[in-house]
Amino acid sequence: MQRSRPNAPLARWRLRAKTHLTNARMAFVAPSQWMAGVARRSPVARKATVRCIANGIDLNRFVRLDREAARSLFGLALDRVVILLGAANVGSDLRKGAAQLEQALARLAGSDSLANAQLCVFGTAVRRELVLHGVPVLEVGHLRDEESLVALYSAADLFVAPSLQDNLPNTVLEAMACGLPCVAFNIGGMADLINDGVSGRLAAQGDVGALALCIQQVLSDSAWRAAAGRAARRRAEEYFSYSRLAAEHTDLYGQLLLTKSNLA
């Protein structure tokens, strides 16, 4: 257990040591513009290079499959618009935004946009069916392999990520690669992933009314939803492919080697 000593606080020692270790020959890589900004404001990274290079995804594995076949695997209705939510401990971790999503659905209860909707949740401890504000809910439990994940993304029409705190969530990137428009709060690296109004919608952080409106807009326009799904896939291909990110890392290494040579 760390114990604080008035004359030698450990946190201050650690900060001082880290600050002395960093220099122009070092680089910090952050997966989102938000995290890169946080790093640049830190005294530890002030003298070093900070580069934003996102996490990538295997675009050959995460692809959209046949919707009807995918729905049959999970027992999802063929005639409903499926809203997908996925997060570990989604009910117990307040940062995941489950309460905000529930409040948003409550605001839309009885509206035409939810009349034909179904909510599907993965990452829960058990598999069960229930009803939330008139919307049938299917919790499919934990999915243990990528094939099942890809099938579930392919079965859905919309992915919602109501997190109040996050960086660059893999679930959103996976959903995009599988051609799903995404709705989220504009926090962390969400804006790096979602092109608001083109491949999905972003609501102001914690604004339940804005989140409800975003969900309603996506559910109410099937043509826009299809176009946004295609745009989401293109965005994944353009910005998050392994080949692009490997090239960015290679470029960074080259710059650091040149800096080292100039300082030698």
pLDDT computed for residue 7 by the predictor: 56
Beta strands in the chain, from DSSP E residues, in sequence order: 27-30, 49-52, 81-86, 117-122, 127-132, 135-141, 158-161, 182-185, 200-203
pLDDT tens digit string along 29-84?
A: 999 999 999 999 888 888 788 999 999 999 999 999 999 999 999 999 999 999 99
Q: What CA–CA distance (Å, rounded) separates 214 from 201?
A: 6
Task: Please compute the mean of the pLDDT values over residues 188-206 and round it to a whole number.
Answer: 97
Is it the case that residue 2 has pLDDT exceeding 50?
no
pLDDT tens digit string along 209-228?
A: 999 999 999 999 999 999 99
Is it the case that residue 1 has pLDDT exceeding 50?
no
In sequence order, the β-bridge partners of residue 119 are: 83, 137
Task: Please compute the mean of the pLDDT values over residues 149-154 and round it to a whole number.
Answer: 98
Burial class (CB in 10 A: 0-12, 13-18, 19+), 1: exposed
Is it the case that residue 260 has pLDDT exceeding 60?
yes
Please give the domain boundaries of the chain with CATH numbers for all domains: 10-56+241-263 (no CATH), 67-239 (3.40.50.2000)
